[in-house]
Chains A and B, each alone.
Chain A
Amino acid sequence: MHKPSCLLVVLLLLLSSCEELFEYHPNQIRLDAHEKDLTALHLARISTQSAGDTLRLLVMGDTQRFYDDAVDFVAKANAFRDIDFVVHQGDISDFGMAQEHKWVQDILKQLKWPCLTVIGNHDLLANGRNVYREMYGALNYAFVYGHTKFVFLDTNGREYGFNGKVPDLGWLQEQVTPAPGASWQQAVVISHMPPFSSDFDSRLALPFHQALQQSGRVRLSLHGHDHNWNTVQAPDSPVTYHVTTTVKNRGFSFLQIWEDGFAIERIQF
């Protein structure tokens, strides 16, 4: 076979292996049915589980462009026993493109456990906000599981030009204030940007901390973004801020929560 025909064969082989034959734009938002409303899907899965006295969570994050490491994370996570759910701390994508989320979800769907996400600053790039809404759902959401309420919210102030509205402290306060007769004993707040980051709206950092403190029910606030481990116990306060490293550094947190305490273990893989 002469060279030009070889070229055609190579091209045809390449195209026949294409998972999607055409791509119209890198920022297109074309999702399959199983790639939509993932938060609701996983919450429905969690609601069928019965929460024990000690909740067991795996907390990971910042998968942006680190697909091979994410595959290894899934293998390690599946080796655990009796995990209630996995938390992705945000920066699911690097460029805010739907295709990146599709790849990450293709990897995370191999998890034995339900997996919830919170939006990161990279996920807000380009038309990423629309991608997140379509693929996962609301940017701020909360649910009660056993004795604990989990509150997920967007804290990526820099992406909003530090407009004083992100994080939505009114909503947060409402979520961490127990209504009379509330079944939950404590709340865990989950967001991408830690309040001590320069990318958090500095005017809202102290009010954020005060909202957690004044609730009297929050002992733990979980974050990502820094690509490094960090656990900060706020002085004169019951609130601990825990930052989980990125999958690229091949680490995640194993978190156990009981009614009046918690334990965090840093896992390497």
Chain B
Amino acid sequence: MPSNEYSFDMKPPIAFLTTALFLQVSTYALGQENKEPPYHVKAQFAGDIGLVSVGAGRSFLRGKVEADLFLGYLPERVGGDRIVTAAVKATCVPVKALQVRSLDWQPLRTGLQAGHTFGREYFAFEPQDKYPKSYYGFSTAIHLYSFIGGQVDFSRTKQLPRVGIYYEAGSSAEYLISYAQNPRYLSPGKIFHLALGVRMKL
């Protein structure tokens, strides 16, 4: 039976705390270097945090780094189980955008994401009353995910000057480790998946 109990009343997810701290520290440390407002919202399809997810975040270092906080939802009808996930996502944009007609194309965006899955059946840390110390040695609630992709911005268009669409190929840490240990059976095609999203500058 798919579970439909979620314990939102548990201690605040680590992902949220980390992001809050990160955003706070970064704001003080780096100040606001960009003339444009650094805040944005995102909506994403797939990417290991739900069928759809919504996020909010800001950019730093003239847009070279983005930090986002996502909340994702996977309905049981699509996912076989109803799953709610919160995630902190850091994206690095090491290459300058290229102008392609009226579009700006960021050819390389890469980063890391830590997702926290809600629900009684998942543990962030192994419960001490259930397991001897480091029994499994991993978390079932927190999934790390790394990705590589790009983004197309409509900044120089009249219609959608604040909008960009991004794409990324990502894989969970569990899959990457499995691939490293099983290079014959597994392959990048087995462990990487596509995610698509829209970013809107505020």
Contacts and interface: CB of A to CB of B under 8 A. Distances in A.
B51 A8 contact: no
Interface in B77-99: 78-81, 83, 85, 95, 98
B83 A25 contact: yes
Contacts, number: 143
Interface string A91-118: 0001111111001000100000000000
Interface residues of A, number: 49
B74 interface: yes
A125 B141 CA distance: 10
Interface residues of B, number: 58
Interface in B167-189: 167, 169, 172, 174-175, 177-178, 181-189
Nearest to A12: B169
Given A7-B108, A11-B169, A18 B189 contact: yes
Given A23-B46, A130-B2, A158-B131, A65 B74 contact: no
A134 B193 CA distance: 23
A25 B79 contact: yes
Q: Which 5 A/B pairs are nearest by Cβ-Cβ distance?
A: A29-B80, A17-B189, A4-B107, A23-B193, A67-B185
9 contacts: A17-B187, A22-B46, A23-B48, A26-B175, A27-B122, A29-B2, A30-B78, A65-B182, A122-B136
Interface of A: 3-5, 7-8, 11, 14-15, 17-31, 65-68, 70-71, 94-100, 103, 107, 122, 125-127, 129-130, 133-134, 158, 161, 198
